[in-house]
Amino acid sequence: MTRMRIALVAVAAASALALAGCAGGGGGGGAEEPTAEPAPTFEPGTTMAELAEAGSITVGTKFDQPLFGLVGPSGVPEGFDVEIAKIIASELGIEEDGIEWVETVSANREPFIQNGQVDIVVATYTINDKRKEVVDFAGPYYMAGQSILVLADNEDIESEDDLTGQPVCSVTGSTPAAKLAEIGAEPVLTDTYTNCLEPLRSGQVVAVSTDNVILAGLAAQNEGEFKVVGEPFTEEPYGIGLAKDDTEFRDWINDVLEEAYEDGRYEEAWNSTAGTVLPFVEPPAPDRY
Ligand code: GLU
């Protein structure tokens, strides 16, 4: 035998052993093990690879917004934003118990992303240019609009025009707070929208103003007490906040969103949460900026 042939035989023998090992090492039955869902693989060094490897992801969301992110008796948040985050986690091969939920309020979303306290924020988070200076966004995955909540028996306020010169509650660091100042209302600001309800009840403010879908959730949670009036007067495209310049991660989340639109997971996520109160609308195409 030449040296070359010896080497080839050795390789063949090793392969045969390896194959036998795969088949179960001569157990005799020959039946194959049921194949589990293959673990997703990602380019080493990407955020996706790091998160998948860790088997965990930290998600910033709202804890007191019915329909989108609300911590109830279960102790974990529930809502449409929560379901969107779960879809992203599952595409990373991360189980639900590998998701660490962190409460983000409107004002701390950018800092929490910037200093790495969260990997992503899914929290009724409007994509805009100012925020894009310090963070990036995948999405949009939903289009909301600013609206008005008043006491159920209020007959005076019908649109944003009726808010001029009036005290109106909203939240620090939110887009609606800025818009209220712009239209000449007197913004009364707190940290979360539920903290606007007492001032509304007591008459300290005449209205609460933020996204229509948040207000719809608050109205549904407090049946008969409040009503949403007028038409939405801004556009609030909801995005998934992530670290600035992590383009691979942003593109990948956009791919996940598109897949979820197509295979029904997005609609299912909506129907089981916000869809219990609000109609389903076709999602906007992610912005590949
Ligand atoms: N979508 C608006 C924003 O991101 C209002 C809702 C909120 O504060 O979470 O500022």
pLDDT for the residue 38: 73
Confirm whether 50 is domain-assigned.
Answer: no
256, 90 contact by CB (below 8 A): no
Confirm whether 117 is domain-assigned.
Answer: no
Confirm whether 246 is domain-assigned.
Answer: no
As a whole number of Å, the end-to-end CA separation of the chain is 63
Beta-sheet pairing, 77-78 with 167-171: unpaired
How many structural domains comprise the chain?
Answer: 1
Beta-sheet pairing, 77-78 with 69-71: antiparallel
Confirm whether 23 is domain-assigned.
Answer: no
pLDDT for the residue 4: 38
Span 65-116, pLDDT tens digits: 999 999 999 999 999 999 999 999 999 999 999 999 999 999 999 999 999 9
Q: Which residue's CA is the closest to the ligand 1 atom numbered 10?
A: 174
Q: How confident is the model at residue 13 (pLDDT cuts 50, 70, 90)?
A: very low
Distance 173 CA to ligand 1 centre (A): 8
Of the given ranges (184-188, 201-205, 223-227, 285-289), which has the lowest mean pLDDT? 285-289
CB within 8 Å of 212: residues ≥ 6 apart: 144, 145, 146, 147, 228, 232
CATH number at residue 185: 3.40.190.10
pLDDT for the residue 32: 59
Distance in angstroms (rounded) separating the CA atoms of residues 24 and 12 = 19
pLDDT for the residue 36: 65
Q: Ligand 1: which of 68, 130, 175 to mutate, most ligand atoms within 8 Å of CB?
A: 175
Burial of 173 from C-beta contacts in 10 A (0-12 / 13-18 / 19+): middle
Distance 238 CA to ligand 1 centre (A): 9
Burial of 153 from C-beta contacts in 10 A (0-12 / 13-18 / 19+): exposed
Tokens of 278: 């609000």
Domain span including residue 217? 146-229
Tell me, using a 6 A CB cutoff, whether residue 212 lines ligand 1: no
pTM: 0.87
Tell me what the mean pLDDT of segment 135-148 comes to: 98
Q: How confident is the model at residue 31 (pLDDT cuts 50, 70, 90)?
A: low
Residue 28 has pLDDT above 70, yes or no: no
Distance 192 CA to ligand 1 centre (A): 10
Tell me, using a 6 A CB cutoff, whether residue 176 lines ligand 1: yes
Confirm whether 157 is domain-assigned.
Answer: yes
